[in-house]
Amino acid sequence: MTYNEHKKFLLADNLKAIAVSFLSVVLVSAVLGLLMFSVIKEHEDDRAADILLNVHMVFKDAEAALDHLNSKSYLACSEENLNEMRRTLFRSRFVKEIGFFGDGKLLCSTYLGILKQPIDEAIPDFETSLGDAFWINTPLELFDNQSKGTIAKRGRYNAVLDMDAVIGLNFSQDWALFYKGDRLFHMAGNANLMPQRAGVASLDTSYFSLHLIKCDEYYSATCLSVVSDKGRIFNIHKGKLVLFVCVMLMTAALTHMLMFNYLRRRRSLESRISRGLKTGKFYCLYQPFVILKSGEVVGCEVLSRFEDEFGPIYPDEFIPQVKELGKTWEFTTVMIESAMTALNENKDIPECFKVSFNLFPSDFMQDELLDLDWVLDMNDKKFKLVLEITEDEQLATASAVKHIKALKSRGFWMAIDDFGVGYSNLSQLKSLKCEFLKIDRSFVMDMEDHSIRSSLIPHIVSIADELRVTLIAEGVENTEQCQELVNMNVEYGQGWLFGKPQTVENLANTIDLSFQTH
C-alpha cells in the first residue's frame, strides 16, 4: 500500500469514526435525554402533588374547624360561642381567623370580638356543590382591609385560610390553583395559567410537555395547573445538565477512539488475512512451466494472491503473516481446493497436466498432512499433483520424512523449491527422493552477467543427475537464458518468457497456443 493510499484510508477511517461518534452521541443523547426528561417530569409531578397535598391539608383543617363549630348550634354571638371559636382557632394549623354570621351579617370574630356594627356579608366569588362559599383575595377586616386572604364559609361560620403558609411565597408562580364548577374559578397562583375551558378533566397533555393538570382526589373539583418555569428547572437540574454534557463528550471521544482503532485493526494484515481466509479473498493464479527445448506447456504452478476492499496484499507480506497466525494448513487446503475446482471445471485444461502446489515446511510436521485423500478424490482429470516444499531444517526430521514418503506412496510427486538458497543437505535430498528440483530464479537472472552464482548451475545439474531428479529453472525471462539452460541439460523452465501468473482461462489459452505452435 502506497503512502498516499495509506493516507486516504486513514482519512476515510477518521471520517467513519466521526460519523459513528456523531450517531452514538445522538443515540446516547436521546436515551439520556428521555431519562433526564422522565426525572424532571417526575420531579414536577411530585411538586404539583405536594402543592395539592398542602391545599388538601388547609381545606381539611378548615373543614374540621367549621364542622366542629356548626355542630354546637350556637344561634347568637355569645361569650361562650366566642370562647369556643377561639379554642377551635388555637387547635387549627391553617386557619388565621374565624367569624360568626347571622342574618347575612358578620356578628363577631375571634380577633375583633363582638362587633358593635355588624358587617354585611359580601357576595362570594363562587360556591361549591356542597354549598360552601369562597371569597378569593378578599380584604380582611382584621387588618383594616390592608391585607387580603382566602375565606371559606360553611353554615354560620367562616374561616380565613392561611394559604401562603402552606403553598409558600418562595414557590415560582408557574402554577394556578382553581375550582372547577360550572366555570373555572381562580383560587391561588398565576391566574394566566388557568385552562381556557371548564372541561379540564378531559384536557390531555402530551408526555413530552411540562404542562401538568392535577386534581385532588378528595376535593375533586379543586385542581392545579402547572406550566413549569424553565429557569427554575435549569437551576434545580443544572448539575445533571453538566453531567449530561460530560457524558456526551466522553461518548464522542470513546466511540471515535474505539471505531477508529477497530477500522485500523480491520485494515491490519492480521485481520485482513484471517478474514480473507473465511470470506474467499484469497484466489489462485497459474504460472505455466514448459519443456525448454520445445516450449510446450506441460504444467503449472499454483500461486496465491490476495485482494479485498482495501486492495491487494502481496505474497511476501501475507506468507509470513499466515505463518505467524498458525494458519498454514488452513491456507494450504483453501488454495488447493480452489485450484482443483477451477482446473477441473475448465474443459480446456488437459488431463494428466502437471499441477504444482506450494506447501509450508512446517506442515510436514503435522499429522493432518497425511489426510490429503480428498485432493485425490477431486482429481477428476488425473493431474500429476506436485507438492513443492522449500528447503528447511524441519524437513530433516523423522516426522517430515515419514509424511513425505506417505504422500509419495499415495501418488503425489515432490519438488524442492528455491533450491540452492535455503538449507541444503545432500543426504537429506537423497532420503526424500523428490521428483523435481527447482533452481532459484536468482541463479537464472545472473546468467547474463556470468556471475559466480550463475556458474553454480552446472553443479546443480550434476547434483540432479546424481539424484536422478528433473530440474525446473525458475525466472526465465528471455530466449538467451532459455537457450543457455537447454545447453546445460535443464529440462523444464518457468518464467515470464513463457507466461506470467494468470487466470485459469488465460492458462487454457496459453496451453492451446503452445500445442498449436509445437
> And the C-alpha cell for 454?
550463475
Lowest mean pLDDT among 309-313, 351-355, 446-450: 446-450
Q: By the 8 A CB rule, do 32 and 244 touch?
A: yes
Residue 183, all three cell numbers: 366555570
Report d(CA 277, CA 318) in Å as an integer. Answer: 11
Q: Identify the CA nearest to 476 among candidates 498, 503, 455.
A: 498
**In the structure grid, which three cell numbers stand for residue 491, read together?**
529440462
Strand partners, 215: 223
pLDDT at 421 over 70: no
Largest interatomic CA distance in the chain: 149
The count of other CB atoms within 10 Å of the CB of residue 35 is: 12
End-to-end CA distance of the chain: 42
Return the sign of the alpha-carbon dihedral for residues 460, 454, 420, 292.
negative
Q: Are 325 and 273 in contact (CB under 8 A)?
A: yes
Q: Cα(173)–Cα(193) distance, rounded to whole angstroms?
A: 9
Q: What pLDDT score does 138 carry?
A: 84
CB 102 within 8 A of CB 74: no
pLDDT interval class at 145 (50, 70, 90): low
Q: Residue 238, SS3?
A: helix
Across the beta sheet with 175-180, what order do the strands follow?
184-189, 175-180, 222-227, 211-215
Among positive and negative, which fits the CA dihedral 217, 218, 223, 226? Answer: negative
428 or 483, which is more confident: 483
pTM score, two decimals?
Answer: 0.61
- pLDDT above 80 (res 367): no
Helix (H, G, I), strand (E, B) or coil at 185: strand
- Say if residue 364's pLDDT is above 80: no
Written as one string, the DSSP assignment of 47-105 is HHHHHHHHHHHHHHHHHHHHHHHHTT---S--HHHHHHHHHHHHH-SSEEEEEEEETTE
Residue 95 confidence (pLDDT): 94
**Grid coordinates given for 128:** 361549591
pLDDT digits (tens, 9 = 90+) for 56-107: 999 999 999 999 999 998 999 999 999 999 999 999 999 999 999 999 999 9
The owner of cell 344561634 is: 75
From start to end of 374-487, where are the E strands? 384-390, 413-419, 436-439, 470-474
Categorize the per-residue pLDDT at 200 as very low, low, confident or very high, splitting at 50, 70 and 90: very low
As a whole number of Å, the CA-based R_g of the chain is 50
DSSP bridge partners of 346: none
Q: Which of 201-210, 268-277, 456-465, 487-496 has the lowest mean pLDDT?
A: 201-210
Does 241 have pLDDT greater than 80?
yes
* Angle of helix 230-266 versus helix 3-70 axis, rounded to 10: 150
Which range (74-88, 114-128, 361-375) has the least confidence? 361-375
Residues 358-378, mean pLDDT to the nearest whole number: 82
pLDDT tens profile 385-402: 999 988 665 565 677 778
| pLDDT value, residue 197 | 60
Share of the chain above pLDDT 90, in %: 47
Which numeric CATH code is attached to 269-517? 3.20.20.450
Cα 68–71–72 angle (5° rounding)? 100
DSSP string computed for 3-64: HHHHHHHHHHHHHHHHHHHHHHHHHHHHHHHHHHHHHHHHHHHHHHHHHHHHHHHHHHHHHH
Q: Residue 475: phi, psi to the nearest 5?
A: 75, 30
> Average model confidence (pLDDT) for the chain?
86
Round to whole Å and give the CA distance between 225 and 354: 92
What pLDDT, on the 0 to 100 scale, is given for residue 209?
80
How far, in Å, CA of 149 to CA of 109, rounded?
Answer: 15
Q: Is the dihedral of CA 482, 486, 489, 491 positive or negative?
A: positive
- Strand 157-161 with 148-154, pairing: antiparallel
Q: 3-state DSSP call for residue 385? A: strand
Neighbours of 37 (CB within 10 A): 13
* Interval 230-247 mean pLDDT: 88
Domain locations in the chain as residue ranges: 3-230, 269-517
| Per-residue model confidence as pLDDT tens digits over 8-35 | 777 887 888 888 888 999 999 889 889 9
Q: How many Å apart are CA 376 and CA 206, to the nearest integer? A: 74
Compute the 3-state secondary structure of the chain and give helix, strand, coil in percent, each to the nearest 5.
50, 25, 25
Q: At residue 304, what is the residue type?
A: S
Residue at grid coordinates 536468482: 442
Work out the percent of the chain whose per-residue pLDDT is above 70.
Answer: 89
- Report residue 202's pLDDT band, with 50, 70 and 90 as the boundaries: very low
What pLDDT shows up at residue 493?
A: 95
